[in-house]
Structure 1
């Protein structure tokens, strides 16, 4: 098992809730990282959906060295290289394409690709991906889908993301094939933009309390 997979697994064991962050301004990065770290969050995914996404990754890593910061919405080879150059420790994509996989150049262990079916999960596993994202989780079957996949594919571990609410977290984390749960509502784009750091810390603490 690669170092990053071991690192993610260890961090997720401590705090299995992963904020999926859409951050408009790099000025928000440091206080956001500190707010998440104060709640006990160990892993954060910064999406590349905004112009400052790469700067946010770099700034969050500097502000909270103990926080594992990855890049989400990685869609191309350019995204891969830019995210890694910015200091992203892992990568997340909504799916996988031949071009994106080729761009990884043997670095599949860094990527958590999205899958929605058993066939996609089996294919990604054959290609060398070690952890997968069930996406969009609610549309792809949610907890019942994960229960169904656990029987024939017990060796695969998932980070379900997409359409998951706070009330769903406990049931997702109860599944043996789930290593973490991701969600953008943990630290919403609006709360980040408004600087609601105490609110973000409170939500994350509440989610991690039963974990």
Structure 2
């Protein structure tokens, strides 16, 4: 478990957040081992499957991950994630009710925002670490450069369309804390237990940055 106050600094140091969708909870342990062996101690497990809570519990049991729960859209998911051991909560959008619930539980909340109005709402709720989603669909690096001008105290985690070909362009921006990536933990690779390829992709990215 990572202390809430250290989450932004930890993510900034790790730089890459694998955004994971697990269909079979039995794949969670070998995936966690693969990421650790590759040198990555961070993961965001998304509420896109029925196996999410079990996968979170498995990753948390290793005691070596800064662990996030992603695609959190309601309080039920949020509380289930916290009980399962999540260190931070990521939502695809901004929801004041989720902000309040995270504050109550002293857990870092990272809202998804892609417009100035959404970012201003996040700032009003004392949130300055934001998921920029979907990154590539909303203009990618050029949009982040534009948004950072009026919001110099906001840090972003671009997610959506981040690949080996563009990740360094994002990480090169002062306003970017880390990047969320699905490419290195492709859902099909997990489903077919192709952990060797996941290891190779992860190592390649970490060596690149």
TM range (shorter): over 0.9
Q: Secondary structure at the match of 1:80?
A: helix
Q: Does 1:129 align with 2:132?
A: no
Give 5+ residue unaligned stretches, structure 2: none
The 5-angstrom pairing of residues 1-211 of structure 1 reads 3-13=3-13, 15-62=14-61, 64-106=62-104, 110-211=108-209
Q: Report if the CA contact (8 A) 1:131-1:156 is conserved.
A: yes
CA apart distance, 1:107: 5.1
Give the distance between the partners of 2:147 and 2:105, measured in 1 at CA: 25
Q: What's the RMSD between the two structures over aligned residues?
A: 1.8
How far is 1:171 from its partner? 0.2
CA distance in structure 2 between the partners assigned to 1:116 and 1:42 by the alignment: 27
> Unmatched 5+ residue regions in structure 1?
none
Distance change in 2, residues 1:17/1:90 (3 Å)? same
Offset at 1:105?
Answer: 4.8
Total equivalences in the alignment: 208
Cα deviation, residue 108, structure 1? 7.5
Residue 159 and residue 108 in structure 1: after superposition, are their counterparts in 2 closer, same or farther (change >3 A)?
A: farther
Q: TM-score, normalised by structure 2?
A: 0.93
SS in 1 for 2:155: coil
Deviations 1:103-137 (A, max 9, x none): 43545751111001122112102202231000111
Distance 2:188 2:36 in 1: 19
Whether contact under 8 Å (2:89, 2:107) holds in the other structure is no
